[in-house]
Amino acid sequence: MSALELEHVSKSFDSAEGRVQVLRDLSLRLEAGQSLALTGESGSGKSTLLHIAAGLEQADQGRVLVAGQEIGALGEAGRAALRRGHVGLVFQQFNLIPSLNVAANLAFQARLSGREDRAHIRDLAAALGLEGLLQRYPEQLSGGQQQRVAIGRCLAARPALVLADEPTGNLDEATGERVLDLMLGLTRAEGVALLLVTHSPRLAARCDGRAHLRAGVLASALDGAP
């Protein structure tokens, strides 16, 4: 059973200029413990793919399976439960709950899914360099600090599948490397599947596989993908 499976997924949007086909008959498979870097030009549909994988957006055609469960067959409540239990999401921006401080934001998803592990969260905060910021509110953080809190929140819940949309986009190179180390380390140690969107070829090279999205199809994929 794969952690994530997309089969012949298509997606288009209606816009002022007419229909925009973003994903075309796209297939992809990601196993537990594997990491895949997703690259592509701005506007190529990387975020859209991630949103479809998380069940936040519906594909027009094709099947999406997370931990063996087909998302399309689940209702809204079922998809929410699947995200809560299995998926960790890091968005490009606006990740945090503005009215909660960093500590509460970090623990939030773990609490929501009933898997709060304080020691684990403390370790993550230390690894991400957030110890001094726990009592601050998101508006008092820099963009990179906010992004690190979002990554911490995702990892604290121990999801089986991590979907991260340019998590290091706001970080300097050194910090970006450190954060990626952390994510990859967890992927391997705990058997987490990681789908990572990034613009940096250097970071992409450190993942197990690379896929390039162009004109709605994947140019190359992980071994074993159809």
Partner 1 sequence: MIRTTLAALLSHWLRSPLQLVMLLTGLALATALWSGVQALNAEARAAYATAEGLLADGGTAHLEHPSGQIAPAQFVALRRAGWPVSPVLEGRAQIGAARVTLLGIDPFSAPAAAGPALAASDLGGFFGGLGYAHPQTLQDIGAADMSLRPAQAVPVGVVLADIATVQALLQADGQITRLALSGPLPPTAPPLVALAPNLRLVAPGEGADLAGLTDSFHLNLTAFGLLAFAVGLFIVHSAVGLAFEQRRAMFRTLRALGLPLRHLTACLAAEMAVFALFAGALGLGLGYALAAALLPDVALTLRGLYGAPVPGALQFDPLWALAGMGMTLAGTALAGGQALWRLWHMPALAPAQPRAWALASQAALRGQGLAGLGFAAGAVGLWAMGSGLVAGFGLLACVLLAAALAVPMLLSLALRMSERLARGPVAQWFWADSRQSLPRLSLAMMALMLALSANIGVGTMVASFRATFITWLDLRLVAEVNVLPRSQSEALALQEFLTPRAQAVLPMQRVDATLAGQPAQIYAMKDHATFRDNWPLIAPVPDVWNRLAAGDGVLVNEQLYRRAGLQPGASWLDVPGLGALPVLGAYPDYGNPLAQAVLGQEIFARAYPETPIRQFAIRTADAPALIDALQDEFGLPLGQITDQAQAKALSLAIFERTFLITGALNILTLAVAALALFAALSTLAGMRLVQLAPLWALGLTPRQLAGLELARALVLGALVMVLALPVGLALAQVLLAVINVQAFGWRLPLQAFPADWARLGLWAMLAVLAAAALPALRLWRQGPQALLRVFALER
Ligand X SMILES: Nc1ncnc2c1ncn2[C@@H]1O[C@H](COP(=O)(O)OP(=O)(O)OP(=O)(O)O)[C@@H](O)[C@H]1O
Binder of ligand X out of 21, 25, 43, 188 (CB under 6 A): 43
Nearer to partner 1, 44 or 108 (CB): 108
Residue with smaller CB distance to partner 1, 192 or 222 = 192
137 binds partner 1 (CB under 8 A): yes
Residue 65 CB contacts under 8 Å (≥ 6 apart), including other chains? 2, 4, 5, 6, 7, 71
Nearer to partner 1, 52 or 65 (CB): 52
Nearer to partner 1 among residue 15 and residue 94 (C-beta) = 94
- 13, 78, 142, 214: which one binds ligand X (CB under 6 A): 13
> Between 44 and 73, how does the x/- string for binding to ligand X read (CB under 6 A)?
xxxxx-------------------------
Per CB under 8 A, does 104 bind partner 1?
yes
Contact yes or no for 174/11 (Cβ under 8 A): no
Could you tell me the CA-to-CA distances from 130 to 20, 67, 124, 159, 173 in Å, in that order? 41, 31, 8, 21, 18
Kindly state the DSSP code that residue 59 receives in the 8-state scheme: -
Q: Which of 38, 91, 125, 193 binds partner 1 (CB under 8 A)?
A: 91
Enter the DSSP assignment of 224: T
- Tell me if 186 sits within 8 A of 192, measured CB to CB: yes
Q: How far apart are CA 52 and CA 129, in angstroms?
A: 31
Give whichever of 104 and 186 is closer to partner 1, judged by the CB atom: 104
Of Mg ion, partner 1, ligand X, none, which one sits near residue 215, judging by CB under 5 to 8 A according to partner kind? none
DSSP letter for each residue of 131-200: GGGTT--GGGS-HHHHHHHHHHHHHHT--SEEEEESTTTTS-HHHHHHHHHHHHHHHHHHT-EEEEE-S-
Name the minimum Å distance from CB 9 to partner 1: 16
| Binding status of residue 77 toward partner 1 by CB under 8 A | yes
Say whether residue 42 binds ligand X (CB under 6 A). yes
- Residues near ligand X (CB under 6 A) are 13, 15, 20, 22, 40, 42-48, 92
